[in-house]
Chain A
Amino acid sequence: QVQVVQSGAEVKKPGASVRVSCKASGYTFTDYYVHWVRQAPGQGLEWMGRINPDSGNTNYAHKFQERFTMTRDTSISTAYMELSGLTPDDTAVYFCASMALWLDGESVDYWGQGTLVTVSS
């Protein structure tokens, strides 16, 4: 069955970096873009960027372009995100999602369970 499993919660100090993994199983990892979305406590969803697992091409939201990096390892069907220069405002749940939204034909959205990243001194 389809599963998307993210790495566990992280606690980081301001200025540090965090890396979150997102492992896919039950479908062809390279068929769908992997999107990263975050949600601060009590707040809405914020799109951060996406990576094409097949080509490695990436697209970033403007506010994250300087310190956000998405990568993937197709041999283990895993996508990664790394956020550097952390501040308390980066405290959030980070979701990955394999998504393909087609106007015609089947669409999919497979979400991970979310990873809580807490930034605190």
Chain B
Amino acid sequence: EVVLTQSPEFQSVTPKEKVTISCRASQNIGSSLHWFQQKPDQSPKLLIKYASQSMPGVPSRFSGSESGTDFTLTINSLEAEDAATYYCHQTHSLPFTFGPGTKVDVK
């Protein structure tokens, strides 16, 4: 099974700062890596699919990139509403798996 490792586990950031979250896959998963945002007491929401494709309606400050088995979610100019936990998720091979999550706190 593909293991996804995320870093950091927690990040406390001031508004307008840039946030970078990393996700590393234990094996080659191509570009089948997606990013979800989950706010407290809410269901997850898909932000980025296939490493870098933004879902409709997602603010342009969210972007994704990849390099081999390393994937990055970037939030440019963080806003207060971006306080959430972010999860990477792979659908390259069954069983699908999630990363452990990165909690972003807005100071």
Contact = CB atoms under 8 A, between A and B. Distances in A.
A80 interface: no
Given A59-B94, A59-B95, A60-B95, A45 B55 contact: no
Contact of B95 (A45, A47, A112): A47
Given A44-B101, A101-B50, A114 B43 contact: yes
Which applies to chain B's interface (DSSP): helix, strand, loop or mixed? Answer: loop
B62 interface: no
A113 B43 contact: yes
A97 B85 CA distance: 18
Contacts, number: 56
Interface in A62-98: 62, 95, 97
B5 interface: no
Interface residues of B, number: 24
Nearest to B87: A45
Interface centre among B44, B91, B95 (most CB of A within 10 A): B95
A61 interface: yes
Contacts of A107: 46, 49, 55
Interface of B: 1, 31, 34, 36, 38, 43-46, 49-50, 55, 85, 87, 89, 91, 94-101
13 contacts: A45-B98, A45-B101, A46-B98, A49-B95, A60-B95, A61-B95, A95-B44, A97-B43, A99-B46, A101-B50, A103-B50, A107-B55, A111-B43
